[in-house]
Chain A
Amino acid sequence: MNALVDAGLQADATQITDAKKRYSAGVLKYRQMGYWVPDYVPKDTDTICLFRITPQEGVDPVEAGAAVAGESSTATWTVVWTDRLTACENYRAKCYRVEPVPGRPGEFFAWVAYDIILFEEGSIANITASLIGNVFSFKPLKAARLEDIRVPVALVKTFKGPPTGLIVERERLDKFGRPLLGATTKPKLGLSARNYGRVIYEGLKGGLDFMKDDENINSQPFMHWRDRFLYVMDGVNKASAMTGEVKGSYLNVTAGTMEAIYERAEFAKSLGSVIIMIDLIVGWPCIQSLSEWCRRNDMILHLHRAGHGTYTRQKNHGVSFRVIAKWLRLAGVDHMHTGTAVGKLEGDPMTVQGYYNICREAVNQVDLPRGIYFEQDWCDLKKVMPVASGGIHAGQMHQLLHLFGDDVVLQFGGGTIGHPAGIQAGGVANRVALECMVKARNEGKDIVNEGPEILRKAAQFCTPLKQALDTWGDISFNYTSTDTSDYAVTPAMA
């Protein structure tokens, strides 16, 4: 064990059970107030959080864990007699375990349990206001991070989850047995609506299933949102007729007010779009409201995780994306960006696979190398389609299929629109790369090792694929990830 934790565990400052002493005015240690309960056994109905904490010099880690429990539930800095008007032991979160983080001096894991009475049903806003409300600014901690959460079945059942789910999405789109393909329209800013629709049409006709607005396309001076929706849907419908396939384009309905968001969503529906999109930065109640709207209007809801890197990326402070992913599945989105592992944005492959499993599994088992600390039963809540987007190209198809399987949207923005022979050719290259890799995998080929050869063979009958491989075949983003598992060392994928 760790000397600091040992010292903390042996300290005599344990819960004061004599009520008169406990509630006499003044300041007590959090562990004396009942926020450190080392023999506590969490109930099936408890929410359990795993925090990574970095106490200030001289702060005992057990007291720090107790403080996290206190500040994320009932505590304030001093004793208050009004606690005695309540069944206060129920409202106190209980830190019941503190351990040093392997290989990270000064950091500790603290397990904290919360009684089900602490949370309003069906409200991510309420859960987050408690769990990450005050505690991350607490002075005795240098840093704190919410690593993982176990949401009890009883609380899961108060959420409706994804409005459509990946199974029904596939049925609506008539696309099975392979990843879906998408691309984000580029340049993300500046195109007129008419020029923008051209990119949509070319990409979809070339073989993509989806095109996508980027996170910051709303209704700027260069393109009014109604213009964009009208031209995009012209491209979508025309591409559908040209190919005989259902096609879609994520229409970003993010706006300044909820009323404007609803107005944009209604217009997207009136034009026959199968899908709309929202940015994570709009906040939890907005996401939950729009999810309800989507359920009423047969709409798939795509979530772009804009802004998440500000609090998910650093290992010692913030909220892990695996927690955000769990909240998003509860709040109810059908797609969420979960990283690529091989592309241009942050993401260690094992950690990213953990996010995918949160989206798609019926029950998550404990899986420390993938950063999953708790078993999580999703109670048949629908599954979210994960989206891999950012700096990926056709030459990585074998890696992407191997890492993520079939239930994923692979988005090649630059890898489609930047194709030397044009956007349609970019679409063809990606679709052919995808189909040949799925076929090879199903035939039992070892795609991880034979992937490049499989692509080269397909390029013999597909010039656009050959051009894509010649252009990007050697591009990779080999940087060390900042957010990696504490239980297995996994180098970035080549």
Chain B
Amino acid sequence: MMTNPTGRITQGQFSFLPDLTDEEITAQIGYGLQKGYAWSVEYTDDPHPRNTYWEMFGMPMFDLQDAAGVMMELDNCRKTFPGHYIRLMAFDSTRGVESIAMSFIVNRPAHEPGFGLVRQEAEGRNIRYTVHSYATDKPEAQRY
């Protein structure tokens, strides 16, 4: 159990709100589609803040126009990885952006053990910090 005010990892756009219902997720997907973004489903069992590359659950859905299609992919991912973190990401290919435009978590493990801070005393009063995920002490697929 994490002890920050939300009791959980707060990455993404909506971690401080109550979990979004499927209907609310659909509305967000619709907003992205209307902006011309391509949606992608990603999952991980290593939610370290600097773990950039979560696993891709298939490729970004560039030609998909219907939010229901994204929800189907999300449902498949949830069935396959019910205890993983899953996020939806929207890609914007506009010149000058060409990056991620939206990102929010839509599935979490029941228990989020969080992270410890490892401090290595260095020269002078310097300390070298490492954020360490408790979950990754266990092998892949046994973490949550």
Binding site for B on A (CB under 8 A): 167, 170-171, 174, 176-178, 205-207, 230, 233-234, 237-238, 240-246, 270-272, 362, 380, 383, 424-425, 427-428, 431-432, 435-436, 438-439, 442-444, 458, 461-462, 464
Known contacts A428-B5, A432-B17, A436-B17; A170 and B131 CB within 8 A of each other: no
Q: Contact between A439 and B14 (Cβ–Cβ < 8 Å)? A: yes
Q: Contact between A234 and B127 (Cβ–Cβ < 8 Å)? A: yes
Q: Contact between B129 and A242 (Cβ–Cβ < 8 Å)? A: no
Known contacts A177-B13, A177-B90; A439 and B102 CB within 8 A of each other: no
Chain B residues with a Cβ closer than 8 Å to the other chain, count? 47
A238-B117, A442-B27 are known contacts; what are 5 more A-B pairs with Cβ within 8 Å? A174-B11, A245-B11, A272-B128, A362-B96, A435-B16
User: In the assembled complex, how far is the CB of residue B26 from the closest CB belonging to chain A, in whole angstroms?
Assistant: 10
15 A/B residue pairs, CB under 8 Å, sorted by A: A167-B99, A170-B99, A171-B100, A174-B103, A177-B100, A237-B129, A240-B115, A241-B117, A243-B9, A244-B115, A435-B16, A442-B31, A443-B31, A444-B27, A461-B18
Q: Contact between B104 and A241 (Cβ–Cβ < 8 Å)? A: no
User: In the assembled complex, how far is the CB of residue A44 from the closest CB belonging to chain B, in whole angstroms?
Assistant: 22
Q: Contact between A207 and B102 (Cβ–Cβ < 8 Å)? A: no
In the complex, which residues of chain A have a beta carbon less than 8 angstroms from the beta carbon of B52?
174
Across the interface, A246 reaches (CB within 8 A) one of B15, B49, B97, namely B49
User: In the assembled complex, how far is the CB of residue B15 from the closest CB belonging to chain A, in whole angstroms?
Assistant: 8
Cβ of B2 within 8 Å of any chain A Cβ, yes or no, is yes
Cβ of B142 within 8 Å of any chain A Cβ, yes or no, is no
Q: Contact between A435 and B114 (Cβ–Cβ < 8 Å)? A: no
In the complex, which residues of chain A have a beta carbon less than 8 angstroms from the beta carbon of B47?
244
Across the interface, B97 reaches (CB within 8 A) one of A167, A174, A233, namely A167
Q: Contact between B95 and A362 (Cβ–Cβ < 8 Å)? A: yes
Across the interface, B126 reaches (CB within 8 A) one of A207, A230, A240, A241, namely A230
The 0/1 profile, CB within 8 Å of A marked 1, for residues 114-130 of chain B is 11110000000111110
A256 to B76, CA, bound (A): 59
Across the interface, name the chain B residue whose C-beta is closest to A233.
B129
A170 to B115, CA, bound (A): 22
Secondary structure type dominating chain A contacts: helix
In the complex, which residues of chain A have a beta carbon less than 8 angstroms from the beta carbon of B96?
167, 362, 380, 383
In the complex, which residues of chain B have a beta carbon less than 8 angstroms from the beta carbon of A272?
128-129
In the complex, which residues of chain B have a beta carbon less than 8 angstroms from the beta carbon of A176?
13, 89, 99-103
Cβ of B3 within 8 Å of any chain A Cβ, yes or no, is yes
A160 to B49, CA, bound (A): 30
Identify the interface centre among A207, A241, A246, A270: most chain B CB within 10 Å of its CB.
Answer: A241
Across the interface, name the chain B residue whose C-beta is closest to A424.
B5
Cβ of B4 within 8 Å of any chain A Cβ, yes or no, is yes
Known contacts A177-B102, A241-B115; A435 and B14 CB within 8 A of each other: yes
Secondary structure type dominating chain B contacts: loop
Across the interface, B24 reaches (CB within 8 A) one of A174, A207, A427, A439, namely A439
Known contacts A174-B52, A244-B9; A442 and B28 CB within 8 A of each other: yes
Identify the interface centre among B11, B47, B52, B98: most chain A CB within 10 Å of its CB.
Answer: B11
Q: Contact between B13 and A178 (Cβ–Cβ < 8 Å)? A: yes
A87 to B5, CA, bound (A): 70
Known contacts A176-B102, A234-B127, A442-B28; A242 and B16 CB within 8 A of each other: no
The 0/1 profile, CB within 8 Å of A marked 1, for residues 14-44 of chain B is 1111101000100110010000000000000
Across the interface, name the chain B residue whose C-beta is closest to A436.
B17
A206 to B20, CA, bound (A): 21
A169 to B28, CA, bound (A): 23
Identify the interface centre among A167, A380, A442, A461: most chain B CB within 10 Å of its CB.
Answer: A442
In the complex, which residues of chain A have a beta carbon less than 8 angstroms from the beta carbon of B48?
244
Cβ of B79 within 8 Å of any chain A Cβ, yes or no, is no
Across the interface, name the chain B residue whose C-beta is closest to A173.
B49
Known contacts A237-B131, A439-B14; A242 and B114 CB within 8 A of each other: yes
List the 4 closest pairs (A to B, CB-CB), nearest first.
Answer: A244-B9, A177-B102, A237-B129, A442-B31
Q: Contact between A207 and B16 (Cβ–Cβ < 8 Å)? A: yes
Q: Contact between A230 and B125 (Cβ–Cβ < 8 Å)? A: yes
Cβ of B138 within 8 Å of any chain A Cβ, yes or no, is no
User: In the assembled complex, how far is the CB of residue A424 from the closest CB belonging to chain B, in whole angstroms?
Assistant: 6
Across the interface, name the chain A residue whose C-beta is closest to B14.
A435
